[in-house]
Amino acid sequence: MKSICRVLIALSVGWASCAAASTLTVCADPNNLPFSNRAREGFENKIVQLLARDLQKQVRYVWWAQRRGYVRNTLTEAKCDLWPGVASGVERVATTRSYYRSTYVFVTRASSHLQDLTLDDPRLRDLSIGVQLVGNDANNTPPAHAIASRGIVGNVHGFMLYGNYAQPNPPAAIVAAVASGEVDVAMVWGPLAGYFARQSSVALTLSPIPSSKASPWPMQFDVSMGVQLHDAALLDAVNSVLAREQPAIDDILRHYAVPRTSG
C-alpha cells in the first residue's frame, strides 16, 4: 500500500484515498482509564497502537465519551473504523475474535477479611454494598440486577457507570468508596477494579463474582474490537493481528492488572 501511494502521490492523483488507507480512525473515550484517555495512557490505547503498527497505519482518534448510544452515534455517521473494548457479539458492529475475557469482581478492604463472598452470602444483607448503575433498570449492570433479584436493596449504594465527567476517570469512584470505607464491598467490572485497586493506598482484595448457569445475568464477558459491518477486509486484518500479537496483548493486560478468566 505504501508503494502504491508513493506512485499516486508522484502522479498527483489519489492523495485522499491514500491518506484514508494509511489511517486507522478509532473511537475511544478521552477520560476513562484504565481503558483509554486523551493522553493515550490506557491499555486499549496501547493495544490499538500495536494493531496500527502491524497494519502499517497511523492512528487518528475520534474522542467520544463512552455513554449510552456511544456506538450508535459514532456508527451512524461512519465516524470510525474501529471501536476497541466492545463485548463480543454486540449489535451494530462486526466484532473480532476475543482478545481477553474478564469478570465482575467483589472489591473489599483487605483488613475486613471478607473472603469467599458469593451473591447468596448472607453477609451481604448486613454489609454496605456499592454497585455500578447505568441509570435505567432494563440496562443496568449484571451485579445490580443480580443483587436486586435477591431482595437486597436497602443497604445498596449506586455509583453511576458514567459518573461526573468533570472529574478524571469518573467510573473509578466506586473503588475509591471501598478504600475510604464509604461502602464495605463493591461489585465492579474487573479491568476497572484491578487497575484502581493496585493504585490504592489502602490494601484492597479482589475476588471474582461467581457466575451461575441458571442466572440470566452472566458475570464474565469476552471482549473484542468492533469494525463497520461492511468492512470484512479490516475485520480479517484485525483478527490476524490479534491472533499474532496475543502474547504482547497479554503482557499489556498484565501490566494494567486486568483480571483474566477462561471461557
- Domain ranges, ordered by start, for the chain: 2-100+221-255, 103-208
User: pLDDT band for position 39 (50/70/90)?
Assistant: very high
Whole-angstrom Cα distance, residue 44 to residue 47? Answer: 5
- Ramachandran region, residue 197 (left: φ > 0; alpha: ψ -120 to 50; beta: rest): alpha
CA pair distance 27, 61, nearest whole angstrom = 6
pLDDT of residue 158: 93
* Residue 132 reports pLDDT greater than 80: yes
pLDDT: which is higher, 20 or 33: 33
Percent helix / strand / coil, the chain, rounded to 5: 35, 25, 40
2-100+221-255 — its CATH code? 3.40.190.10
Q: Do domains 2-100+221-255 and 103-208 have the same CATH topology?
A: yes
Tell me the pLDDT tens digit for each residue of 49-75: 999 999 999 999 998 887 655 566 555
Which triple of cell numbers denotes residue 199? 493504585
Q: Is residue 194 predicted with pLDDT exceeding 50?
A: yes
Average model confidence (pLDDT) for the chain? 88
Cis ω for the linkage preceding 259 (within 30 of 0): no
The per-residue pLDDT for 71 is 60
Chain-centre distance for alpha carbon 207: 18
All three cell numbers of 5, joined, read: 501511494
Indicate if the pLDDT at residue 246 is higher than 80.
yes
Across 199-205, average pLDDT: 97
DSSP 8-state assignment for residue 115: -
pLDDT for 61 equals 94
Q: Are 169 and 33 in contact (CB under 8 A)?
A: yes
CATH class of 103-208: alpha beta
Q: Which amino acid, one-letter code, is at 149? A: S
Phi, psi of 44 (to 5 degrees): -65, -35
